[in-house]
């Protein structure tokens, strides 16, 4: 009876174990050991169901056993019960309910890989490498990753209080309101004649929307378009085919990624077969420690082909591929089935991708110069020669201007600058530079400002080379 329950509840998993080619090739002694171990599992299962202090269903025990077996392999393998499997299928379509946060498990705590743009988690200020230690006051240690994720999900408009531990800070609590997460994975705008494209995740619609963004930016920029910035910061990854398609949008030919599994004959290579939609224009890719998995595939391919300059900080370092294997009437298993390699043959597993130019997130403020140094130049010196190439009607340099009393005017007092919503902040409001960095605005996003400067330099150099 025990084995009947075990085989019924996890038929696909156990039958795969007993009938796989590798097992069939082993000798009789190994087969006997396998059956003895399965018998041991049956004995433990029977004792737990009969003698545990509280009743527990057979289904719960089997699901926990399956999940324990898979999660012991690596952080990304696991069992998905039917509900979790449905949630995962919905998420890859770009719309789901929850907090909007990509997580993994580390040392028994939930570790944030990346919050997803414009979600409750992102708006609350959660950051990559934050650790979630408690959910509604209850510790997460002892929970599986799937259990922790299930507790973070819930009805829309309900609150969840999470306790966060961040390096260099005391633990703090954040209350998040669950919402329907509709992911707009591609955002774009023309910024100072540079096409800025932000890709926050790789779902089924990502490549289609990226192509539309590139086409629109080329129309908006016209002949003045100097290049593109592809922002993959805090992009936790997603679908492999979408990563391959996105990388192919910037390459004419060549390998994008290869995957190598346990059996050499299962090696796969994915190549670019289309056309560089940007016509070879300068490209800078922004990455950081929240850039993982599929986003690392794109960054690695563009770096190896020297198609783009990578700028930012080292990526997350997830160099493995997971396959979702449905189990009839019992959800699915997520199993790590391969490692992936960039076109040059390097694995980024646990080491990440180093950017070509390392730029830490920073804020830059103009130095306040003393009044006696304000506007100092050749034109401010007494009896300075006039510029003989300027039209006579042109006004004198600003430094030569005098007030009615014959003195040079005092420098104007700094004026409040409009906020992002176009409104002027009230007096005493914190400077935008003192606020958290906002991606997509070079005034407060130092990494993006550096990327735009780099593109301008490349564009000027390319134009000079053509002229010569």
Residues taking part in catalysis = 293, 304, 318
**What secondary structure letter does DSSP report for 298?**
H
For 184, list phi and psi in degrees, rounded to 5.
-95, 95
C-alpha pair distances (Å), 390 with each of 21, 248, 343, 387, 397: 85, 51, 56, 6, 11
- Alpha carbons 293 and 238: distance in angstroms, whole number: 7
Q: Are 103 and 113 in contact (CB under 8 A)?
A: yes
- Alpha carbons 45 and 2: distance in angstroms, whole number: 8
- Alpha carbons 244 and 207: distance in angstroms, whole number: 9
3-class secondary structure, 369: coil
Residues 6+ apart with CB under 8 A from 92: 203, 204, 238, 239
Secondary structure string (H, E, C) spanning 8-62:
HHCHHHHHHHHHCHHHHCCCHHHHHHHHHHHHHHHHHHHHHHHHCCCCCCHHHHH
For 322, list phi and psi in degrees, rounded to 5.
-110, 140
DSSP strand pairing (283-287 vs 227-231)? parallel
Residues 6+ apart with CB under 8 A from 299: 232, 285, 287, 291, 308, 310, 315, 353
- Alpha carbons 348 and 33: distance in angstroms, whole number: 37
DSSP strand pairing (109-115 vs 101-106)? antiparallel
Q: What is the dihedral of CA 74, 325, 322, 22, to 10 degrees?
A: 70
- Alpha carbons 225 and 463: distance in angstroms, whole number: 12
3-class secondary structure, 253: coil
Q: What is the dihedral of CA 157, 143, 124, 137, to 10 degrees?
A: 80
3-class secondary structure, 212: helix
């Amino acid at each position: 009876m025990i084995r009947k329950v075990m085989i019924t509840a996890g038929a696909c998993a156990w039958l795969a174990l007993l009938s796989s080619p590798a097992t069939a090739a082993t000798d009789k002694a190994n087969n006997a050991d396998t059956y003895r171990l399965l018998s041991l599992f049956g004995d433990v299962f029977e004792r737990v169901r009969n003698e545990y202090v509280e009743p527990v269903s057979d289904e719960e025990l089997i699901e926990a056993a399956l999940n324990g077996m898979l999660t012991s392999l690596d952080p990304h393998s696991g069992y998905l019960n039917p509900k979790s499997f449905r949630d995962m299928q919905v998420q890859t379509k770009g719309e789901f309910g929850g907090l909007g946060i990509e997580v993994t498990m580390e040392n028994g705590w939930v570790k944030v890989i990346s919050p997803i743009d414009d979600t409750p988690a992102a708006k609350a200020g959660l950051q990559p490498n934050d650790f979630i230690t408690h959910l509604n006051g209850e510790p997460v240690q002892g929970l599986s990753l799937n259990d922790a994720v299930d507790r973070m999900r819930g009805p829309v408009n309900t609150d969840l209080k999470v306790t966060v531990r961040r390096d260099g800070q005391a633990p703090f609590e954040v209350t998040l309101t669950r919402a329907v997460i509709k992911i707009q994975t591609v955002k774009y705008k023309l910024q100072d004649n540079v096409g800025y494209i932000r890709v926050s995740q790789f779902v089924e619609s990502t490549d289609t929307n990226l192509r539309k963004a590139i086409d629109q930016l080329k129309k908006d920029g016209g002949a003045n378009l100097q290049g593109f910035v592809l922002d993959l910061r805090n992009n936790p990854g997603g679908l492999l085919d979408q990563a391959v398609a996105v990388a192919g949008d910037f390459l004419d030919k060549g390998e994008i990624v290869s995957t190598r599994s346990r059996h050499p004959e299962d090696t796969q290579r994915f190549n670019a077969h289309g056309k560089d939609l940007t016509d070879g224009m300068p490209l800078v890719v922004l990455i950081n420690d929240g850039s993982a998995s599929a986003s690392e595939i794109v960054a690695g391919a563009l770096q190896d082909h020297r198609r783009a300059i990578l700028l930012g900080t080292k990526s997350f370092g997830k160099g493995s591929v997971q396959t979702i294997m449905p189990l009839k009437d019992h959800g699915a298993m997520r199993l790590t089935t391969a490692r992936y390699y960039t076109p040059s043959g390097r694995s980024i597993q646990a080491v990440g991708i180093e950017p070509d130019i390392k730029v830490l997130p920073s804020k830059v403020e103009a130095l306040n110069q003393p009044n006696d140094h304000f506007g100092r130049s050749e034109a401010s010196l007494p009896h300075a020669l006039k510029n003989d190439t300027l039209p006579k009607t042109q006004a004198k340099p600003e430094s030569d201007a005098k007030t009615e009393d014959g003195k040079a005017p005092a420098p104007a007092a700094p004026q409040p600058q409009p906020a992002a919503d176009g409104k002027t902040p009230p007096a005493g409001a914190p400077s935008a530079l003192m606020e958290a960095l906002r991606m997509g605005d070079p005034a407060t996003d130092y990494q993006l400002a550096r990327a735009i400067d780099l593109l301008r330099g490349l564009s000027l150099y390319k134009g000079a080379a053509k002229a010569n």
